[in-house]
Amino acid sequence: MKRRLQVMLGFSLWLILVGTGTARAGERLIIEAALDRQIVDPVLDAFAAENPQIDLDYRDRSTLEVDQRARDRDSPPDVVISSAMPWQLALSNEGMAQPLDAPEVDQWPAWAKWRNEVFGFTFEPVVMAYRLELASHMPPPETHRDLLDLLTHYRYWLDGRVVSYSPRESGVGYTLSQQDARYTPRAWDLIAAMGAANINLETTTQRMLAGLSEGRYWLGYNLLGSYAMLWAQTHPDIIVQVPNDYSLVLMRMAFVHRDAPHPAAARRFVRFLLSRRGQHILAGQTPLFSVRDDVIGPYTAQRLRDQVGDHLYPIPINATLLAFVDPLRRDAFLRRWDREIQILSE
Amino acid sequence: MIPPQTSLKRRLALWLIAIVAGLGTLLLIEAYTSARKAADRAMDGQLEAASLTIAESLQWPEGNPTVEMPASALQILATRWQERVFYWLQADNGRIITQNADLPITDAMQAEARLQPVYLDAVYDGQPIRLSGREVDSAGWDTQEPVQLWVGHTRHGRDLLAQELFRKSATRFAAMVLITAALVAIAMRTMLAPLRRLRQTLRDRSADDISPLRLGVPKEMLELVETLNRLFADQRHHRDALLRFIADASHQLKTPLAGLQSTSELALTSREPAIWRQALETVHDSAGRTSRLAGQMLSLTRLQHLGPGHERQPLALDRLMREVATDWADRQDSRDHDLGLVIDMPTPVWVEGERWALHELLNNLIDNACRYTPPGSEITLTLEGDDERVTLSIEDDGPGVDAESLGRLTQPFERGRRQDTRGSGLGLAIAESIAVRHGGQLSVTNRQPRGLQVSLTLTRCRPPEENRT
Interface check B71 vs A, CB under 8 A: yes
Tally of residues, chain A: 346
- Is residue A129 domain-shared with residue A242, that is, in the same domain? yes
- ipTM score over 0.85, yes or no: yes
B176 assigned to some structural domain: no
The answer to whether the CB atoms of A93 and B72 lie below 8 A apart is: no
Summarize the confidence of residues A159-181 as an average pLDDT.
Answer: 94
Whether the Cβ atoms of residue A294 and residue A134 lie closer than 8 Å to each other: no
B453 assigned to some structural domain: yes
- Is residue A210 domain-shared with residue A338, that is, in the same domain? yes
Interface check B74 vs A, CB under 8 A: yes
B437 assigned to some structural domain: yes
- Is residue B109 domain-shared with residue B249, that is, in the same domain? no
- Is residue B336 domain-shared with residue B284, that is, in the same domain? no
A contact set with B (CB within 8 A): 90, 92-95, 114-115, 182, 318-329, 332
Give the pairing type, strands B127-136 and B118-124: antiparallel
Question: Domain of B291: which CATH number?
Answer: 1.10.287.130
Of B390, B374, B393, the closest CA to residue B382 belongs to B393
CA distance B357 to B317: 12
- Is residue A70 domain-shared with residue A145, that is, in the same domain? no
A51 assigned to some structural domain: yes
**By residue range, what is the domain housing residue A208?**
124-246+324-342
B173 assigned to some structural domain: no
- Is residue B95 domain-shared with residue B239, that is, in the same domain? no
pLDDT at A20 over 70: no
- Write the pLDDT tens digit of every residue in A254-270: 999 999 999 999 999 99
Kindly provide the b/e burial profile for residues B221-233, where b requires at least 16 CB atoms within 10 angstroms of the residue's own CB.
Answer: eeeebeeebeebe
Show the DSSP H helices in B270-354 as ranges.
273-305, 317-329
- Is residue B268 domain-shared with residue B333, that is, in the same domain? no
Tally of domains within chain A = 2
- CB nearest to A328's CB, from B69, B82, B84: B69
Summarize the confidence of residues A98-110 as an average pLDDT.
Answer: 94
- Is residue A220 domain-shared with residue A294, that is, in the same domain? no
- Is residue B255 domain-shared with residue B328, that is, in the same domain? no
Q: Which of B141, B164, B187 is the last residue of a domain?
A: B164
Helix (H, G, I), strand (E, B) or coil at A16: helix
pLDDT value at residue B422: 63
Give the H or E element holding residue B400: none
Burial of A5 (0-12, 13-18, 19+ CB in 10 A): exposed
Question: Which DSSP category does B212 fall into?
Answer: P
- Is residue A160 domain-shared with residue A279, that is, in the same domain? no
A20 assigned to some structural domain: no
Q: Which of B121, B136, B164 is the last residue of a domain?
A: B164
Contacts of B353 (CB under 8 A, 6+ apart): B309, B312, B313, B315, B317, B438, B458
Nearest Cα of chain A lies from the Cα of B114 at a distance, in angstroms, of: 24
Provide, as residue numbers in chain A, all residues whose Cβ is less than 8 Å from the Cβ of B99: none
Interface check B66 vs A, CB under 8 A: yes
Of B321, B357, B325, the closest CA to residue B430 belongs to B357
The answer to whether the CB atoms of B71 and A321 lie below 8 A apart is: yes
- Write the pLDDT tens digit of every residue in A138-151: 999 999 999 999 99
- Is residue B46 domain-shared with residue B139, that is, in the same domain? yes
B421 assigned to some structural domain: yes
Interface with B, mutate which of A318, A322, A335, A337 (most B CBs under 10 A): A322
pLDDT at A70 over 60: yes
**By residue range, what is the domain housing residue B34?**
8-164
Q: Return the percent helix, strand and coil in chain B, to nearest 5.
A: 55, 20, 30
- Is residue A142 domain-shared with residue A219, that is, in the same domain? yes
B51 assigned to some structural domain: yes
Provide, as residue numbers in chain B, all residues whose Cβ is less than 8 Å from the Cβ of A322: 69, 71, 74, 85, 100
CA distance A180 to A187: 6
The answer to whether the CB atoms of A320 and B72 lie below 8 A apart is: yes
pLDDT value at residue A329: 94
- Is residue A217 domain-shared with residue A152, that is, in the same domain? yes
The answer to whether the CB atoms of B85 and A322 lie below 8 A apart is: yes
Please, what sign has the CA dihedral across residues A256, A260, A263, A266?
negative
Q: Is the peptide bond before B348 cis (omega within 30 degrees of 0)?
A: yes
Q: What is the mean pLDDT of each run of 10 residues along chain B (469 residues)?
A: 71 84 90 93 94 92 87 94 95 90 92 93 93 88 84 94 93 89 87 85 81 80 87 87 83 84 87 87 86 82 68 84 86 81 84 84 85 85 86 86 78 70 74 82 83 87 71
Helix (H, G, I), strand (E, B) or coil at B347: coil
- Write the pLDDT tens digit of every residue in B446-465: 888 888 888 888 888 888 87
CA distance A89 to A70: 12
**How many contacts does A have with B, using Cβ atoms within 8 A?**
56
Tally of domains within chain B = 3
Chain B: residue whose CA lies nearest to A118: B82
Provide, as residue numbers in chain B, all residues whose Cβ is less than 8 Å from the Cβ of A93: 84-85, 100
A19 assigned to some structural domain: no
pLDDT value at residue B417: 65
Angle between helices A144-153 and A187-196 (to 10 degrees): 30
Provide, as residue numbers in chain A, all residues whose Cβ is less than 8 Å from the Cβ of B70: 323
- Is residue B150 domain-shared with residue B292, that is, in the same domain? no
pLDDT at A337 over 60: yes
Interface check B85 vs A, CB under 8 A: yes
Interface check B453 vs A, CB under 8 A: no
Whether the Cβ atoms of residue A162 and residue A199 lie closer than 8 Å to each other: yes
- Is residue B124 domain-shared with residue B231, that is, in the same domain? no
Angle between helices A85-93 and A63-70 (to 10 degrees): 10
Q: Where are the beta strands (DSSP E) in A86-149?
A: 113-114, 118-120, 124-131
Q: Which of B305, B340, B357 is the last residue of a domain?
A: B305
Chain B: residue whose CA lies nearest to A97: B84
pLDDT at A93 over 90: yes
Task: Tell me how crowded residue A177 is: count the other CB atoms within 10 A of its CB.
Answer: 24
Provide, as residue numbers in chain A, all residues whose Cβ is less than 8 Å from the Cβ of B54: none
Split at pLDDT 50, 70, 90, the class of A346 is: low
Question: Domain of A63: which CATH number?
Answer: 3.40.190.10
- Is residue B240 domain-shared with residue B96, that is, in the same domain? no
Provide, as residue numbers in chain B, all residues whose Cβ is less than 8 Å from the Cβ of A182: 71
The answer to whether the CB atoms of B98 and A326 lie below 8 A apart is: yes
Question: Domain of B321: which CATH number?
Answer: 3.30.565.10
- Is residue A63 domain-shared with residue A134, that is, in the same domain? no
- Is residue A90 domain-shared with residue A137, that is, in the same domain? no
pLDDT value at residue B421: 63
- CB nearest to A322's CB, from B66, B100, B125: B100
Provide, as residue numbers in chain B, all residues whose Cβ is less than 8 Å from the Cβ of A327: 98
- Is residue A276 domain-shared with residue A331, that is, in the same domain? no
- Is residue B296 domain-shared with residue B320, that is, in the same domain? no
Helix (H, G, I), strand (E, B) or coil at B236: helix
Provide, as residue numbers in chain A, all residues whose Cβ is less than 8 Å from the Cβ of B96: none
- Is residue A330 domain-shared with residue A219, that is, in the same domain? yes
A70 assigned to some structural domain: yes
Interface check B78 vs A, CB under 8 A: yes
Q: What angle do CA B380, B386, B389 make, to 5 degrees?
A: 80
Contacts of A228 (CB under 8 A, 6+ apart): A127, A129, A205, A209, A220, A238, A240
- Is residue B323 domain-shared with residue B400, that is, in the same domain? yes
The answer to whether the CB atoms of A114 and B82 lie below 8 A apart is: yes
The answer to whether the CB atoms of B78 and A326 lie below 8 A apart is: no
Of A322, A303, A321, A320, the closest CA to residue A312 belongs to A303
- Is residue A148 domain-shared with residue A218, that is, in the same domain? yes
pLDDT value at residue A105: 94
Chain B: residue whose CA lies nearest to A113: B82
Interface check B82 vs A, CB under 8 A: yes
Provide, as residue numbers in chain A, all residues whose Cβ is less than 8 Å from the Cβ of B77: 319
Chain B: residue whose CA lies nearest to A329: B68
- Write the pLDDT tens digit of every residue in A191-224: 999 999 999 999 999 999 999 999 999 999 999 9
Of B361, B370, B359, the closest CA to residue B423 belongs to B370
- Is residue B293 domain-shared with residue B332, that is, in the same domain? no
